[in-house]
């Protein structure tokens, strides 16, 4: 809860997909995404199931190709209520959109990150640490509205080494994990 990894949204998407199959509804992914949008803006992207740009309020997708990567995800010991981030008067709300066709890995930024770091300095500590690691590819970012932070690596060994270094640096209470990046969760039916 409060980690910015979309746990509730992915659960809702999985439930919609499973019920569609179990009940033989025959709804397309697009129809399921439309239903999912009524549950939350992140639900449709999990139904879509591919690396993409989500635009609008989460209902328009442009697929993107991601290079293979391994990720270290750190979990600061704070829960970030998304509503607090969106209520903040200093939240930047006029960033020009990125054209998905011109996007490259590592480009762009998360407008929610400065607000989350101000409200929850532990997030900033994790980002500063991750950004100091020499083998990080493309910098470190905060996930969603926070609090989890992540950095990409070329190899599993680099990510696991960074995980061990992070555990030693943060010592007691450190939580994190290594995950292989995927750009597609499943094949469309």
Which pLDDT value is given to residue 187? Answer: 58
Eight-class DSSP state of 170: H
Residue 87: is its pLDDT beyond 90? yes
- % of the chain with per-residue pLDDT over 90: 60
User: If you compute the radius of gyration of the chain from its CA atoms, what whole number of angstroms results?
Assistant: 17
List of residues 6+ apart from 36 with CB closer than 8 A: 12, 13, 16, 43, 44, 46, 47
Q: Round to whole Å and give the CA distance between 168 and 135.
A: 17
Which pLDDT value is given to residue 18? Answer: 96
Q: What share of the chain is helix, strand, coil (3-state, %, to 5)?
A: 40, 15, 45
Of 33, 18, 14, 46, the C-alpha closest to 144 is 46
Stated as kind and residue range, the H or E segment containing 36 is helix 29-37
Tokens standing for 104?
């490259």
Mean pLDDT over 138-148 rounds to 91
A 10 A CB-CB count for 169 gives 15
Binning pLDDT at 50, 70 and 90, where does residue 189 land? very low
Which pLDDT value is given to residue 152? Answer: 93
A 10 A CB-CB count for 108 gives 13
Q: Round to whole Å and give the CA distance between 114 and 54.
A: 21
Per DSSP, the three-state class of 61 is strand
Least confident of 17-26, 50-59, 82-91, 148-157: 50-59
Mean pLDDT over 36-54 rounds to 91
Mean pLDDT in the chain? 90
Residue 53: is its pLDDT beyond 80? yes
């Amino acid at each position: 809860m409060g980690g910015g990894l979309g746990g509730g949204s992915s659960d809702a998407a999985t439930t919609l997909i499973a019920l569609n199959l179990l009940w033989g509804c025959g709804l397309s992914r697009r129809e399921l995404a439309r239903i999912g949008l009524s549950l939350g803006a992140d639900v449709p992207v999990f139904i879509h199931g591919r690396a993409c740009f989500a635009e609008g309020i989460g209902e328009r997708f442009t697929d993107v190709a991601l290079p293979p990567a391994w990720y270290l995800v750190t979990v600061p010991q704070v829960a970030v209520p998304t509503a607090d981030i969106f209520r903040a008067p200093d939240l930047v709300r006029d960033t020009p959109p990125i054209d998905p066709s011109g996007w490259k890995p590592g480009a762009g930024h998360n407008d929610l990150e400065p607000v989350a770091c101000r409200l929850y300095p532990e997030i900033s500590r994790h980002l500063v640490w991750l950004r100091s690691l020499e083998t990080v590819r493309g910098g470190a970012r905060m996930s969603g509205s926070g609090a989890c932070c992540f950095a990409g690596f070329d190899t599993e060994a680099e990510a696991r080494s960074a995980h061990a270094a992070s555990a030693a640096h943060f010592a007691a209470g450190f939580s994190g994990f290594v995950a292989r990046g995927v750009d597609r969760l499943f094949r469309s039916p």
